[in-house]
Amino acid sequence: MIKRFTFNKFIVYLLLTIAAVISLLPLYWVFSTSLQLSSYQDEDMERPVSYVNSTPPKMYPVGITEYFEHWRKARNAEKEGDSEQAAYHREIMDEIVTDTFSGFRRLFTQNSMGAWFFNSVYISVVVTIGILLFDSMAGYVLAKKKFPGRDVIFWLIISTMMIPGQVTLVPMFIMVRELGLMDTHWALIFPDLSMVFGVFLMRQFMFSIPDELIEAAKIDGASEWKTYWKVVLPLARPGLAALGIFTFMNVWNSFLWPIIVLNTAELYTLPVGLKTLQDANLADFKLLMSGAAIAAIPMIIIFIIFQRHFVKGLTLGGVKE
C-alpha cells in the first residue's frame, strides 16, 4: 500500500496527543477528585484541610504522596527505635486511606449507591437480552421470509426512527400511569423493548446469511423455531454482539425517561441516582465525583474488552444503505 499522506510525524503525534489529553482530562478529573483528600489533619496545620477545594487545584490525589511520605517517616522512626513516633505515622497512614475512599463509603452507607448500581445492571441486562431475542426474530423474518404485509410492517417500523424520542414522552407518561406502572422498573423495561434500531440492524445483518443453509435445515425437517435457534442465531453472532453492546450502553446511560418515571430512591438507576445526589450535595464534589466514577467504570471496562465490536457496530449501523 502506498502512502496517501505524508505529514511531519512529529507534528501529527503532537496534535493528536494534545487532543487526546483534552479528550481524557474530564474522566481523569472524575477519578482524581473522587480520591482527593477532603479532610486531612496536616502536621503544621491547625484545622483539617480539604484538597478538593484548594487553590491552585491539586492535579492528582494528594493522599498518594502523603501516604508514602508518612510510610518513609514511620520506617525511619522504627530504625531509630522511636516506636511512639512510628505509631503516630502509621496512624496518619490509616487516616489517609480512610479519607481517600471516604467518598465511596458515604455513597454506599448514606446513599443507596448499591441499589442504584444493582438496578442499572439488571435493567440493562434484561433489556439487552429482550432486544437481542425480539429484534433478531423480527429481523430474520423481515429479511428472509416473504409474506403479505412484510414491507408495510418494515417501513412502518423504520419510519419512526426519524421521530425524536421526546415526541412520545407525554403520551408514554399517561400510558404508563394508566397501566399502573409508574415508579416501577417495568416503566423502563417495556418502553426500552420498543426501540426499533435493532430491527433495522438485524435485518441488514440477516441478508448476509446464505439462503441455502436455511433451506437445508428445512429439508432436514427442522421447525421454523429450530431453524432460527440452531442455524440463524449462531450465524448472526457478530451482529448480535454489536447490537448487544449498543443496547446495553444506551440503557445503562439512559436518563431523561428514568428521571420522569422513577420517584423512589431505592428504585433509581445510576444516572437518576447521580442527579438526585447532585441536587442534594451541590458543592460536595468529592462525593459527586465518587458517584460519577462508579457509574463510569463498568462502561469503560466493557469498552476496553469489546472495542472491536463497538467499531463494527458503528460501521454496520452507519454508512451502509
Partner 1 sequence: MEVSRGKNTSEWLKRTGKSIRKNYAAYLFLLPKLIFFTLFVAIPVVWAFVLSFQEYRVTESNTWIWLENYKEVFASAAFRQALLNTTIYTAVTVPFNVITALIAATLIHSLGRMAQNFFRAAFYLPTVTSMVIIAMVWRWMYNYEFGLFNYVIGWFGLEPVNWLGQTSTALWAIIMMQMLIPFGVGIILYMAAMSSISDTLYEAATIDGANAFQKWIRITIPMLTPTTIYLTLLSTIGSFQVFTQIILMTGGGPGYATETLVHLIYKTGFRDFEFGLAAAQSVVLFFIILVISVLQYRALNRNN
Q: Within positions 2 to 61, which residues make up the interface with partner 1, using CB under 8 A?
A: 2, 4-7, 12-13, 15-16, 19-20, 22-24, 26-27, 29-30, 33, 52-57
Query: Residue 139: which of 319, 317, 318 has the closest Cα?
Result: 317
Cell 399517561, residue? 174
- Out of 49, 108, 249, 281, the only residue in the binding site for partner 1 (CB under 8 A) is 249
Q: Of 216 and 314, which CB lies nearer to partner 1 in the complex structure? A: 314
Residue span binding partner 1 (CB under 8 A) among the ranges 75-83, 84-92, 96-104, 302-310: 302-310
Asked if 278 contacts 288 with a C-beta cutoff of 8 angstroms, the reply is: yes
List, in sequence order, every residue forming a beta bridge with 49; answer none if it has no partner: 40
**Does residue 147 bind partner 1 (CB under 8 A)?**
yes
Min CB(262)–partner 1 separation in Å? 12
Min CB(39)–partner 1 separation in Å? 15
Q: Check residue 230 and report its DSSP letter.
A: I
Q: Of 74 and 232, which CB lies nearer to partner 1 in the complex structure? A: 232
**Does residue 162 bind partner 1 (CB under 8 A)?**
yes
Q: Of 100 and 254, which CB lies nearer to partner 1 in the complex structure? A: 254
**Does residue 233 bind partner 1 (CB under 8 A)?**
no
Contacts of 112 (CB under 8 A, 6+ apart): 265, 266, 268, 273
Whole-angstrom Cα Rg for the chain: 27
Q: Of 70 and 203, which CB lies nearer to partner 1 in the complex structure? A: 203
Query: For partner 1, how many residues bind (rule: CB under 8 A)?
Result: 97
**Does residue 208 bind partner 1 (CB under 8 A)?**
no
Measured distance CA(307)–CA(66) in Å, rounded: 37
**Does residue 295 bind partner 1 (CB under 8 A)?**
yes
Helix (H, G, I), strand (E, B) or coil at 40: strand
Min CB(29)–partner 1 separation in Å? 6
What is the CB-side half-sphere exposure of residue 317 using CA atoms within 13 A?
23
Kindly tell me the sign of the dihedral angle through the C-alpha atoms of 110, 285, 263, 172.
negative
Q: Of 6 and 81, which CB lies nearer to partner 1 in the complex structure? A: 6
Number of other CB atoms surrounding residue 241 within 10 Å = 17
- Out of 126, 137, 158, 222, the only residue in the binding site for partner 1 (CB under 8 A) is 137
Cell 422498573, residue? 185
- Out of 49, 115, 126, 157, the only residue in the binding site for partner 1 (CB under 8 A) is 157
Query: Residue 103: which of 55, 39, 58 has the closest Cα?
Result: 39
Q: Of 96 and 272, which CB lies nearer to partner 1 in the complex structure? A: 272
Min CB(83)–partner 1 separation in Å? 40
**Does residue 275 bind partner 1 (CB under 8 A)?**
yes
Asked if 161 contacts 197 with a C-beta cutoff of 8 angstroms, the reply is: yes
What secondary structure does DSSP assign to 71-102, as a single string?
HHHHHHHHHTT-HHHHHHHHHHHHHHHHHHTH
**Does residue 210 bind partner 1 (CB under 8 A)?**
no
Measured distance CA(196)–CA(193) in Å, rounded: 8
**Does residue 221 bind partner 1 (CB under 8 A)?**
no
**Does residue 141 bind partner 1 (CB under 8 A)?**
yes
- Out of 116, 140, 205, 268, the only residue in the binding site for partner 1 (CB under 8 A) is 140
Surface-to-core class of residue 157, CB atoms within 10 Å of its CB (0-12 exposed, 13-18 middle, 19+ buried): middle
- Out of 68, 155, 186, 255, the only residue in the binding site for partner 1 (CB under 8 A) is 255
